Amino acid sequence: AQSVTQLGSHVSVSEGALVLLRCNYSSSVPPYLFWYVQYPNQGLQLLLKYTTGATLVKGINGFEAEFKKSETSFHLTKPSAHMSDAAEYFCAVSPNDYKLSFGAGTTVTVRA
């Protein structure tokens, strides 16, 4: 069985500051890992994913994440926050059968 833990339900950053969202997972097999973003009253949009290969993954809107197997982590970062980054972010894991297990989500607030 897979589970996902997102540390911090709310993160507040200043515009231009680093965004760091933490995600740890437990999985009995090497997983596929995903980050999704959700804007208010909208569906989820894929930011980036790790399946195989390079462990540093670049996504849309300047986000990137690094898969660290030894730490069972897949933290999401963006060097400089923009006001449009205010949203809820979900980390998800799949054991290759395409049934995603999601974390509880982290809400990002960006201060001007």
Binding stretches for other proteins (CB under 8 A): 9, 32, 34, 36, 41-46, 49, 51, 90, 98-105
Rounded least distance, CB 45 to other proteins, Å? 7
CB of 104 to other proteins, least distance (A): 4
CB-CB contact of 80 with 18 (8 Å)? yes
Nearer CB in complex with other proteins: 34/67: 34
Is residue 88 within 8 Å of 108, Cβ to Cβ? yes
Give the nearer residue to other proteins in terms of CB position, either 72 or 101: 101
* Closest approach of other proteins to the CB of residue 26, in Å: 15
Q: Which SS3 state, helix, strand or coil, does residue 97 take?
A: coil
**Which tokens go with 52?**
């195989």
Rounded Cα distance between 20 and 14, Å, is 12
